[in-house]
Amino acid sequence: MPNLEARLDRLGITIPEAPKPVASYVPSVAVHSGSLVFISGQLPFEKGKLMATGRVPGQVSIETAQKCARQCVVNGLAALLGEIGSFERLRRVVRLGVFVNAGEGFAEQPKVGNGASDLLVELLGENGRHARAAVGVSSLPLDAPVEIEFTFLVD
């Protein structure tokens, strides 16, 4: 391994202070052991029906999209429970990939994602905090407004 500090110096790059957690997600999550569970991209199904369809914010408001993101968490937890049998085995939420059905210039992906992230922290406290990437995509399966994939750490 080369000396990273020396190379940073040579390139004139200063590493800023680590970002502070300002929301329900955190800049990073380390997985020290245990098993990872990868959950497929979840859509906001409720009782077998999508809560909403269409683009954010034109056809689906940010508030509704947040509720959809929250419902993706509910469905992601259902998939997790199907895999591990009991939530007692859950140790940590690791990562969320948040895809918002949104066109050019939409900038509020974090707000939408917070619908998911905030619920996870409300449910799991510190262990609910996770790394997250949130982006706007041109289209989603079944014209859903939000899709979220999850990685969990379990015992």
Task: Report if residue 1 touches a copy of itself, rule: CB under 8 A.
Answer: yes
To a copy of itself, the closest distance from the beta carbon of 154 in angstroms equals: 7
Binding footprint of a copy of itself, residue count (CB under 8 A): 83
Task: Report if residue 62 touches a copy of itself, rule: CB under 8 A.
Answer: no
Instruction: Tell which residue, 154, 153, 155, 152, has the closest CA to residue 42.
Output: 152
To a copy of itself, the closest distance from the beta carbon of 19 in angstroms equals: 6
DSSP class of residue 6? H
Instruction: Tell which residue, 109, 132, 97, 107, has the closest CA to residue 27.
Output: 132
Classify each residue of 59-78 as buried b or exposed e, where b means 16 or more C-beta atoms within 10 Å of its C-beta. ebebebbbbbbbbbbebbbe
Phi, psi of 108 (to 5 degrees): -105, 25
Residue from 99, 114, 115, 116 binding a copy of itself (CB under 8 A): 99
| 28-47 residues near a copy of itself, rule: CB under 8 A | 28-33, 35-41, 47
Residue from 44, 52, 66, 95 binding a copy of itself (CB under 8 A): 95
